[in-house]
């Protein structure tokens, strides 16, 4: 049995953060119904603008946020559309959305509008900048609220260089993990009190939490951005091999500094007055980094990796995204898996961010998304609508029963 079997989730969200939240809940066993407008989630089409394949059958950039769900398309501007949503929420445990509060208010779905009508419902929202303050109604994306507003894009790059080039989804997926945790806590609380709750996580909030040590350093006077030569200390830094690739040396414990120097055939460096006490070692980090730069440029990164592995020196190769899907450690733990669509399109998907001893990740279901409204008829029949009523609503454009996207 999966942890959330028996939990019913209604998701009305677009793009990445809200959909990924619901995807994790689905992976953990919840019955997730994704409610879309008649135009569909914008990410259905935008996913095709990436280098990821997008065919009539295969849309992996959309699926990675939306697998294992059922798909319903309704017109929330009509009375019939609103009535359908009402019936869905009546029996639901969780409502997940990343619509802005003003938009939810316009549809009658803001927390304060439905909390008394559905007192056991967990109302879970993704926000951009938070529920209060001058920017509470500002549109928020991970590029803006998560990366730009928090110092991440400006300060985590070498000084003098261009800002960090972000990858979409880092902020969104961080929010998703946090929101899933909040939802599960609210469900546990409800099991005791019988009452629902509102749970929300903002992109700005999540980034501040994740970056809190960096922000603390900035508050206390650390000059950022900085260069490699202005590292914390030379044994916690990136180094380049003769092949042009990089690795991260992470020998945090100064007590092993002499051991490292001997391994690198630099015994005199360990005795050098500039480095032979912990204080001197920290004070002269730039000089030591330059010595290590010269040494590590003598051999390839695989050479250093093998040497460090043999002597249990903490380090890691700087992998590229393209390397990760075939990483033996990743595959051994079922963190990712290869998938082939019915039309032959090949891709890779990640499993969720948590493993349970009672659930075999290698046996996780991968039910990719359907076209817009692909499960509309089935869901409406479950809600008690007749075949004739469904046909009439489709004709009146209250619903979509199977689009081409």
Residues annotated as catalytic are 172
* Two structure tokens written together for 404: 């081409």
Asked if 8 and 134 touch (Cβ cutoff 8 Å), the reply is: no
**Collapsed DSSP state (helix, strand, coil) of residue 6:** coil
CA distance 399 to 7: 25
**Structure-block tokens of residue 166:** 């972000």
Angle made by CA atoms 84, 85, 91, in degrees to the nearest 5 = 100
CA atoms within 13 A on the CB side of 243: 12
Closest Cα to residue 399, out of 123, 105, 74? 74
C-alpha count within 13 angstroms, C-beta hemisphere, residue 222: 18
Task: Report which DSSP code applies to 162.
Answer: P
Going along 164-252, which residue ranges are E strands?
Answer: 197-202, 236-240, 246-250
Q: Are strands 197-202 and 122-127 parallel, antiparallel or unpaired?
A: parallel
Distance CA 265, CA 268 (A): 9
Task: Give the residues across from 32 on adjacent strands.
Answer: 9
Distance CA 395, CA 391 (A): 6
Tokens of 220: 């206390």
Handedness of CA 213, 218, 221, 226 (dihedral sign): positive
């Amino acid at each position: 049995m999966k942890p959330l079997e028996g939990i019913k989730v209604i998701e009305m969200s677009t793009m990445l953060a809200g959909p990924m939240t619901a995807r994790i809940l689905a992976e953990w066993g919840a019955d997730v119904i994704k409610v879309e407008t008649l135009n569909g989630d914008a990410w259905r089409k935008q996913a095709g603008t990436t280098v990821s394949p997008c065919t009539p059958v295969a849309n992996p950039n959309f699926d990675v946020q939306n697998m294992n769900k059922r798909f319903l398309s309704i017109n929330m501007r009509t009375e019939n559309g609103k009535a359908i949503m009402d019936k869905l929420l009546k029996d639901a445990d969780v409502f997940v959305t990343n619509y802005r509060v003003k938009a939810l208010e316009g549809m009658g779905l803001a927390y304060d509008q439905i909390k008394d009508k559905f007192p056991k419902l967990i109302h879970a929202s993704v926000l951009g900048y938070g529920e209060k303050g001058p920017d509470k109604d500002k549109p928020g994306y991970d590029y803006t609220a998560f990366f730009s507003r928090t110092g991440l894009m400006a300060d985590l790059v070498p000084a003098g260089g261009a800002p960090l080039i972000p990858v979409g989804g880092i902020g969104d997926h961080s929010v998703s993990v946090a929101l899933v945790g909040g939802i599960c806590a609210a469900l546990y609380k409800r099991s005791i009190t019988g009452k629902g709750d509102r749970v929300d996580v903002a992109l700005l909030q999540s980034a501040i939490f994740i970056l809190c040590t960096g922000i603390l350093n900035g508050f206390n006077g650390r000059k950022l951005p900085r260069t490699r030569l202005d590292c914390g200390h030379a044994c916690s830094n990136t180094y380049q091999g003769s092949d042009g690739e990089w690795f991260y040396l992470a020998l945090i414990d100064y007590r092993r500094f002499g051991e490292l120097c001997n391994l690198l055939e630099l015994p005199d460096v360990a005795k050098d007055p500039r480095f032979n006490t912990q204080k001197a070692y920290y004070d002269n980090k730039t000089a030591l980094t330059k010595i290590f730069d010269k040494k590590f440029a003598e051999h390839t990164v695989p050479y250093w990796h093998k040497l460090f592995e043999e002597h249990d020196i903490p380090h890691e190769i700087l992998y590229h995204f393209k390397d990760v899907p075939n990483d033996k450690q990743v595959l051994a733990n079922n963190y990712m898996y290869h998938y082939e669509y019915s039309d032959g399109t090949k891709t890779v998907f990640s499993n969720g961010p948590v493993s349970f001893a009672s659930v075999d990740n290698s046996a996780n279901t991968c039910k990719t998304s359907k076209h817009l409204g692909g499960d509309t008829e089935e869901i409406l029949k479950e809600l008690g609508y007749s075949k004739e009523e469904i046909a009439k609503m489709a004709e009146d454009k209250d619903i979509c029963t199977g689009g081409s996207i």
